[in-house]
Structure 1
Amino acid sequence: MSDPTPDAATDDGDDGDDATDDTEAPTVPPIDLPGDAFDAVLDALDDRDPGEPVRFEGFTVTRADDGGYVLADGDRSDPMAERELHEALAERAPAVTDWYAFERVVGEFGPRRAFLRWIEDADGETVAARYAALAAGIERAWGELKITATVTDRGERRYDVRHADDAGVPVDDLTAHDDPLDARDLVTFDEKGRYRPLKTAPSLASGWVFPDLGPRDFYETVETIYPATVANWHREREGELDVTHWRETMERQSGIYGVVKTWDRGEGYEHVNWVAEACCDDSQCLKRREWQYDDDTDLDVDGGDGAFPCREPCSVVVSAARKWTRLESEQPRTYEFDLTPSEKEQVEDIIEAVADGRTDEIREADTKEGANRYRTRFLRAKLFDDEGNLGGVPTEPDDE
Structure 2
Amino acid sequence: MNAAQVDRAQVEALAEAAADGIEFDGFAAETEGEGYVLATEEGSKRVVHAENLDDAAAEYAPYVTNWYFWHAEAPQAEDRWSFLRWLEGADDRRVGERYEALDAGLTREWGQLHVTVTVDDTGSRRYAIRHVDDADAAADALDDHEDPLDARQIAKLDDRERFRPLKTAPTLRTGWRFPDLDPAEAVRTIDSFYPATVANWHREREGALDVSHWRETMERQSGIYGVIETWDRGEGHEHVNWVAESCCVDSQCLKRREWQYDEETDLDVDGGDGEFPCREPCSVVVSAARRWTKLEGEQSRTYEFELTPSEKEQVEEIIDAVADGRTEEIREADVYDGANRYRARFLRAKRFDEAGNLSGVPTDPDASNAEGADAGDAESTADEDEATEEASD
Q: Indicate how the Cα distance of structure 1 residues 62 and 283 shifts in structure 2: closer, same or farther if over 3 A, else same.
A: same
For residue 376 of structure 1, report the CA deviation from its aligned partner.
0.8
Q: What corresponds to 2:206 in structure 1? A: 238
Query: 1:131 is matched with which residue: 85, 96, 99?
Result: 99
| Whole-Å separation in 2 of the counterparts to 1:265 and 1:347 | 28
Stretches of structure 2 that go unaligned for 5 or more consecutive residues are 372-393
1:78 and 2:44 correspond: no
1:178 and 2:146 correspond: yes
Q: Which amino acid aligns with 2:230?
A: T
1:218 and 2:186 correspond: yes
**Residues 335 and 393 in structure 1, CA contact (< 8 A), matched pair in contact too:** no
Q: What corresponds to 1:317 in structure 2? A: 285
Q: What corresponds to 2:129 in structure 1? A: 161
Query: 1:188 is matched with which residue: 156, 162, 169?
Result: 156
| Whole-Å separation in 1 of the counterparts to 2:76 and 2:308 | 67
Q: What corresponds to 2:237 in structure 1? A: 269
For residue 360 of structure 1, report the CA deviation from its aligned partner.
0.3
Q: What corresponds to 1:95 in structure 2? A: 63
**Residues 70 and 78 in structure 1, CA contact (< 8 A), matched pair in contact too:** yes
Pairing 1:349-360 to 2, within 5 Å after superposition: 349-360=317-328
Q: Which amino acid aligns with 2:354?
A: D
Q: Indicate how the Cα distance of structure 1 residues 58 and 258 shifts in structure 2: closer, same or farther if over 3 A, else same.
A: closer
| Whole-Å separation in 2 of the counterparts to 1:264 and 1:57 | 53
1:41 and 2:14 correspond: yes
Q: Which amino acid aligns with 2:223?
A: G
User: Secondary structure of the residue that 1:180 maps to in structure 2?
Assistant: coil
For residue 37 of structure 1, report the CA deviation from its aligned partner.
2.2
1:141 and 2:114 correspond: no
Q: Indicate how the Cα distance of structure 1 residues 88 and 184 shifts in structure 2: closer, same or farther if over 3 A, else same.
A: same
| Whole-Å separation in 2 of the counterparts to 1:78 and 1:395 | 91
Taking every aligned residue pair, what percent have the same amino acid on both sides?
A: 60
Q: Which amino acid aligns with 1:44?
A: A
Q: Which has the higher contact order (CA 8 A, sep 6+)?
A: 1
For residue 44 of structure 1, report the CA deviation from its aligned partner.
3.1
User: Secondary structure of the residue that 2:149 maps to in structure 1?
Assistant: helix
Greater mean alpha carbon deviation, residues 117-126 or residues 195-204: 117-126
For residue 56 of structure 1, report the CA deviation from its aligned partner.
4.6
Pairing 1:192-341 to 2, within 5 Å after superposition: 192-265=160-233, 267-341=235-309
For residue 154 of structure 1, report the CA deviation from its aligned partner.
1.6
Q: Which amino acid aligns with 1:121?
A: G
User: Secondary structure of the residue that 1:378 maps to in structure 2?
Assistant: helix
**Cα distance per residue 1:129-183 (max 9 Å; x no partner):** 1101111211111111111111112211111111110112122221111111110
Q: What corresponds to 1:105 in structure 2? A: 73
**Residues 98 and 155 in structure 1, CA contact (< 8 A), matched pair in contact too:** yes
Q: Which amino acid aligns with 1:342?
A: S
1:150 and 2:128 correspond: no
Q: Indicate how the Cα distance of structure 1 residues 36 and 72 shifts in structure 2: closer, same or farther if over 3 A, else same.
A: closer
Q: What corresponds to 1:69 in structure 2? A: 35
| Whole-Å separation in 2 of the counterparts to 1:41 and 1:70 | 10
1:348 and 2:316 correspond: yes
For residue 57 of structure 1, report the CA deviation from its aligned partner.
4.6
* TM-score, normalised via structure 2 length: 0.88
Q: Indicate how the Cα distance of structure 1 residues 328 and 266 shifts in structure 2: closer, same or farther if over 3 A, else same.
A: closer
**Cα distance per residue 1:103-148 (max 9 Å; x no partner):** 1111425111111111122123210011011112111111111111
**Residues 144 and 176 in structure 2, CA contact (< 8 A), matched pair in contact too:** yes
**Residues 336 and 394 in structure 1, CA contact (< 8 A), matched pair in contact too:** no
**Cα distance per residue 1:298-344 (max 9 Å; x no partner):** 11111101111111100000000000000000111111110111111
**Residues 126 and 181 in structure 2, CA contact (< 8 A), matched pair in contact too:** yes
| Whole-Å separation in 1 of the counterparts to 2:342 and 2:205 | 51
| Whole-Å separation in 1 of the counterparts to 2:254 and 2:320 | 20
| Whole-Å separation in 2 of the counterparts to 1:39 and 1:383 | 83
**Residues 134 and 174 in structure 2, CA contact (< 8 A), matched pair in contact too:** yes
Q: What corresponds to 1:18 in structure 2? A: none
Query: 2:5 is matched with which residue: 16, 32, 44?
Result: 32
For residue 43 of structure 1, report the CA deviation from its aligned partner.
4.2
Aligned residues: CA RMSD: 2.1
**Residues 48 and 56 in structure 2, CA contact (< 8 A), matched pair in contact too:** no
Q: What corresponds to 2:383 in structure 1? A: none
**Residues 334 and 396 in structure 1, CA contact (< 8 A), matched pair in contact too:** no
Q: Which amino acid aligns with 1:172?
A: D
For residue 29 of structure 1, report the CA deviation from its aligned partner.
2.0
* TM-score, normalised via structure 1 length: 0.86
For residue 238 of structure 1, report the CA deviation from its aligned partner.
0.7
Q: Indicate how the Cα distance of structure 1 residues 230 and 395 shifts in structure 2: closer, same or farther if over 3 A, else same.
A: closer
